[in-house]
Amino acid sequence: MSGSPGTTFRLRWERFGPEVEASLRAVYGGRAGEVAERVRSIVAHAHEERPEDLRILDERRLLSPDWLQDPRQVGYVAYADRFAGTLAGIGEHLDHLDGLGVTYLHLMPLLKPRPGPNDGGYAVMDYRAVREDLGTMDDLRALTARLRERGISLEVDLVLNHVAAEHDWARRARAGDPRYRSYFHTHPDRTGPDAWEATLPEVFPDFAPGNFTFDDELGAWVWTTFNSWQWDVDWSNPDVFCEYLDIICHLANAGVEVLRLDAIAFIWKRLGTTCQNQPEVHHLTRALRQAVRVAAPAVAFKAEAIVGPDDLLPYLGVGEHHGKVSDMAYHNALMVQLWSALASRDTRLTEVALGRFAPKPTTTTWGTYVRCHDDIGWAITDADAAAVGLDGHTHRAFLSDFYAGLAPGSFARGLVFQHNPATGDRRISGSLASLAGLGTALDAGDAGRVADAVARVLLLHAVILGFGGVPLLYMGDEVATLNDDRWAEEEGHAGDNRWVHRPRMDWDAVAAAEADPASPSGQVLAGLRHLVAVRRSTPHLHASVESRVVPSPDRRLLVLRRDHPLGPLLQVHNFSEDEVWLPAHLVGDVLGPTASELLGGHRWNLATDALPVRPYGSLWFVAAG
């Protein structure tokens, strides 16, 4: 019958199956046909088992393929346990998310991890089970259903590079099963590891030096990029590809709408390289994505690729993969540059760094963010620094000192994370509000400094909300949560100071912010809600349009332009505590003699010499209607 599930599957496979097989051929050569048949069987079963309400969601998404690019999309990132205790508890706080305009909820690792140290949940022991303290898979299905009723999509982490040493695959490998031993990179002696180590960086040099671990039961060295208890899987084995595809389909049918592909840059190994960003990574991701579009087209992929601009765009798709790899990627460079400009009161480096980005595929989107669960690594190249007369090493050291509160004039209160003496690399931990100076200002009892800190928090959000993409608000930032001074007291956290910016959600603080809009937290909450409301009503922010840097006449100002079919949008952001005057013609030449400023709700006469931009202020201009 026309329109039957069988017909739907056949048409989708006819559309996407050839792309799946083409990418599989690039990786697996002559085995591609056989692997493609296995893939077809997996997605056919998943399609058959897909619940009816998710089939309806599939149809909605097929009719609105740009759903992730819509300016009404606003993300929120939280640890389920620290936000609400359990998955069921999340459902009790949906009014708070609604009040922020959230349409996209990323719950940090919630699949069953190994007992004991587990890298914040990224050492997964079972991809088909939920952490026992959070609930069950049935609880996850119930939560996704409640979220869909509110128009909120759930994102879940899927770790692609490694599994916990306690995962069933690893246990079977230790038991001598040759099939599962082939799921991992193993070596009988140090000959192989030593050859690989010659070009491999260390991710956690402080507490996990090296990239290989000897396992007594296995009787071999196993590849462990991140920690000794996280075993890298071998994607050159097509069994691994099929296992992960089946896992993705299982999560999709539980109602997960976005999968964050964790550690994706590391999944393909090539001797003599850093074993990151290899071409096979993009073929494998494309094959996974196109296969999932057959079984569950409502599902989107987000690449967790914290890499340089030249390496980042391929995760969205370039060349033969254009727009076919992932639907979203993190704009890590934007985040780093915001903190750099805030410390230096100088946007010239930001102009150079953002100006290097080639246009992304118009069907994809950025995930923009001010902070995340991780540390801040100063991904600033020597070449970009030199272009504005800076020494890269010196500037990165300055930023580490500034945000650790060690530099003269610093307003920040952060902690150094993972100091690497060999390279001088020092990353930074700390909550948004603490890094923006609110803690030091409150301790000093200085109302002016408090006002500056609040303004910094809102400035950074004004940029990510106006840049284009899905802005990701991090749990607690909406009420200016400070560092958790007791972070090391919790079991298992003392060795990882990133827990300083992962406190439990303080619902009393949320209530206080609601009750007292004049308090610092109340100002941040009200300011964020206002920014989100303006964003949602501004079609110029559709993510198919790129933000482009406009050279600024003042190093304290960042000027961004978006050329939408409805007309240009010009944004001006002041990264200093000074009032800065902007020549009016820079706006008037683009928008005409008058313009509407969206954040303030005013019409501006541009027939004047200069426009004032308040300290840490933002202006969003469109042509006056």
Catalytic site residue 262? yes
Q: What distance in Å separates the CA atoms of residue 372 and residue 374, rounded to the nearest whole number?
A: 5
Phi, then psi, of 352 in degrees rounded to 5: -65, -50
**DSSP 8-class letter at 236:** T
Catalytic member of 21, 234, 262, 327: 262
Tokens of 488: 């090391």
The string of DSSP codes covering 166-177 is: TSHHHHHHHTT-
Catalytic site residue 304? yes
Q: Are 253 and 260 in contact (CB under 8 A)?
A: no
Q: Would you say how long the chain is, in residues?
A: 625
Phi, then psi, of 617 in degrees rounded to 5: -95, 160
Catalytic member of 157, 304, 384, 452: 304
Find, among 379, 298, 388, 274, the residue nearest to 337 by Cα: 379
Beta strands 186-187 and 220-223, pairing class: antiparallel
Residues paired with residue 429 on neighbouring β-strands, in sequence order: 415
Tokens of 478: 């909406």
Q: What distance in Å separates the CA atoms of residue 228 and residue 148, rounded to the nearest whole number?
A: 39
Residue 326's contacts (CB-CB under 8 Å, 6 or more residues apart) are: 261, 285, 289, 301, 302, 303, 315, 316, 317, 364
For residue 413, what is the enclosing H or E element?
none
The string of DSSP codes covering 303-364 is: E-----HHHHGGGT--GGGTT-S-SEEE-HHHHHHHHHHHHHT--HHHHHHHHTPPPPPTT-
For residue 13, what is the enclosing H or E element?
helix 5-28
Residues marked as catalytic = 262, 304
